Structure formats: structure tokens, C-alpha cells
Chain A
Amino acid sequence: MMSPKEKDNDLYIVDDELNSNIIRRTLVKKLIAFIQLYALYIIIFGELGPGGGFQGGVILGSSIIIYILIFGLEEGRKRISQKASDFFSSTGALIYGGVGLLALIFGGNFLQYAALPWGEPPVANHYGIMAVEIGIGITVAATMIILFCEMIGRD
């Protein structure tokens, strides 16, 4: 039996009774696809328009967070496991650093995208910036998921 105070604090964690709300479940299930599509759009087109890896990553992370809010931590962890979010959190930063190192290997300076072997300098620049934006997006999305899951995970 929980003390009243504990119960009070538990208000924000997914409650089974509230959780069975079919409207919310269905709505979130349908909506997540569009949220993630929008997030990917912002990450990829961040190079050409407003947005970028950081903003897109946050939106991508929130799509998982909203899933966890509605379906619970256990169900959410089935979609992206603790291991996966830990892994992706470092992968993004490594992609960014890796692009820099790749430029170094191909005779440029660190992060000099023009030296990348992906075509003429303007094109290589283009792909280089896109690659680092994707790296930022992966790290930010995974880190947001980690932050949220660790905060609400009950001991």
C-alpha cells in the first residue's frame, strides 16, 4: 500500500487506469510516424533551410518520449532498448568526429569537408555537412531518450 504522499508523486507516471484510454493510444500510434518524418525532414534539410541536427534530434527523441508517456517505460524499452539508446548516444558523436578524421585522412584539415572523397568540393561540402547533421541528430535523440527514461524509471 502506498502512502498518500507517494501516490501524489506518482501522478505523472503512466497510470494503468489512464493508460487504457484508447483514444490516446490510437492517436499517438498514428501521430508518431508523422512526428518522426518531420524530425527526419528537419535533420536532412537543416542544411538548406531552418532546422538542423539538434532540433531534428530533439523532435525525434520526443516521438519516443511521447510513446513512453502513453504506453509506459517497459513497452517503450521494447521499441528502443537501453543498450540501443546508449549505443546511439555515442555513435552520433563518433560520426561527427569520424567525418573530421576522414577529411584528415584524405589530405585536408580536420572537418574540412571539401577534402572528403565524395565528389567535387561543393558536393563534398554538401554531403559532409549533411553527415555531421545526421550525427548530431542521432546523439541528441538518443540522449533525450536516456535522460527521460532514467528520470522516470522507478527504483
Chain B
Amino acid sequence: MADLILLFFLLVCAVTAVAQRELLNSAIILSIYSLIMAVVWVRLGAVDVAITEASVGAGISTVLFIAVLTRVKRREEITRFRVQVLPLIVVLAVGAALIYGTLDMPDFGSAAAVSNTHVVPRYLEKGVEETGTDNYVAAILASYRGYDTLGETTVIFTAGLCVVLLIRSEKKRRL
């Protein structure tokens, strides 16, 4: 029941965020969306993802959205609303296909699911022994998948570098 209520609020947030003409409102509604999503992650047992969603989705990305809005126009142009038939059909077809695809998915937390039978048993058996930590999430992220996490850190560094190169150099040129 609680899940259904959360899902309902997620849908309401998503639709209102799209429907807003004032972009600042959209940014704030998206942050509410992320907060509800964080609760959903906790209910699914993914606390690490929940912390990320709350700090990144609800926190920093809202601030960054608003920071960007100080540089651009923050009101959407008024366009006449009209139904376009072909895109609507495409969207509905893709949506129906996706929902049809979920029917084949295993039950939540099912031990027979492919994701739970491939490498996960190995991690659960040998994780503590091989990585010295009791937290499997940290063990997988920092140890088994250490290369990926190094890549992610580099991606974040590169993002900051690009912003510095693009915006700061432009500022200097104008001076």
C-alpha cells in the first residue's frame, strides 16, 4: 500500500514537473521527486542508492539547476498545445512494449533471478574474506569493481575540468 502511495506521488511529481512553465518550479518539483525516490530506494533495501539519491538528486542537482537558471531564461515560451498523432502512437507503443517486457521479470528479491545467481553468490561467500570488509556494497564498489570506481572518479574530475575550461576561459577572454 505504501509503495502504491509513493508511486502515485512520483507520478504526480513527474507530470507536474513537465507541465510547469516556470523552470524554477520544475527544478524544485524534481527535487521532491528525488526525495520520494530516496524513500522508495530505502523500501527496496538499497540504502546506499538512497543516500546518493537524497544528496545528489534532491540536494546538489537542484542547486546546480538553479545556478544554471541564473544564466538562462527561466520561463518557457508559451506554445499552443496540440495533440500530435504519430508521436503519441510511437510513445504508447514503446510504453506498452516496456510494460510487456516487465511481465517476464523475476519477482523482487527472487533467489532464482539471473542477477542473484551469477556472481552474487561468490561475492557473498568470499567477500569478507577477500576484501576485509563486512559491507558488501563497499566491497564490490571499491574492491571488486575498483577499476570502474576509479573511472567514475576520473569522469567527475573531467566534468569539473571541462566546466573550468569552458566557462572560466570564456570569462577571461571577455575581460
Q: Are A111 and B52 in contact, with the CB atoms below 8 A?
A: no
Collect the chain A residues with CB atoms within 8 Å of residue B147's CB: 110-111
Q: Are B149 and A148 in contact, with the CB atoms below 8 A?
A: no
Q: Are A51 and B164 in contact, with the CB atoms below 8 A?
A: no
Interface residues on chain B, number (Cβ under 8 Å): 51
Q: Are A123 and B149 in contact, with the CB atoms below 8 A?
A: no
Task: Give A20 Cβ to nearest chain B Cβ, in Å.
Answer: 20
Q: Are B71 and A151 in contact, with the CB atoms below 8 A?
A: yes
Collect the chain A residues with CB atoms within 8 Å of residue B73's CB: 9
Q: Are B156 and A140 in contact, with the CB atoms below 8 A?
A: yes
Q: Are A55 and B171 in contact, with the CB atoms below 8 A?
A: no
Q: Are B70 and A125 in contact, with the CB atoms below 8 A?
A: no
Collect the chain B residues with CB atoms within 8 Å of residue A113's CB: 131-132, 143
Q: Are A55 and B52 in contact, with the CB atoms below 8 A?
A: yes
Given contacts A47-B135, A126-B133, A135-B153, contact A58 B142 (CB under 8 A): no
Smallest Cβ-Cβ distance to A47: which chain B residue: B138
Collect the chain B residues with CB atoms within 8 Å of residue A12's CB: 24, 66-67, 69-70
CA distance A28 to B77 in the complex (A): 37
Which of A's residues lie within 8 Å of B, judged by CB? 8-13, 42, 46-52, 54-55, 58-59, 61-62, 65, 69, 86, 89-90, 92-93, 96-97, 100, 110-111, 113-114, 121-126, 128-129, 132-133, 135-136, 139-140, 142-144, 146-148, 150-153, 155
